[in-house]
Amino acid sequence: VGRRYFDIFIQGDRKLKDFNIREEANGSLRALTRSFTAVNVSNGVLDIHLLWMGKGTCCAPFRSFGPLISAIQV
């Protein structure tokens, strides 16, 4: 129904721009794996941000924001 595009930031660096998880996974309810390496964690905290950047749908079928992610493996 709605489209969800977002940017992925790891440790403040944008790793993916306008990422559409449904399109990348070829549909809903499908696993998708993306790997990122060479991340420098200096304070003991790994920062991962999935930010809706104002693209796609925010109000259909109801008002909500953000990606639908089930799990992140580190």
**Considering the entire predicted model, what is its pTM?**
0.73
Q: Answer yes or no: is 41 within a domain.
A: yes
Asked whether residue 74 is domain-assigned, the answer is no
In a domain, 52, yes or no: yes
pLDDT of amino acid 58: 57
- Residue 50 belongs to some domain of the structure: yes
Q: Flag whether 61 is in a domain.
A: no
> What domain range is 9 assigned to?
4-56
**Who's near 3: CB < 8 A, 6+ residues apart?**
20, 22, 55, 56, 57
- Give the model's pLDDT for residue 14: 94
What total of structural domains would you count in the chain? 1
Assigned domain for 26 exists: yes
Domain assignment present for residue 20? The answer is yes
Per-residue model confidence as pLDDT tens digits over 18-52: 898 888 989 878 888 989 886 788 888 888 888 87
Q: Is residue 66 part of a domain?
A: no
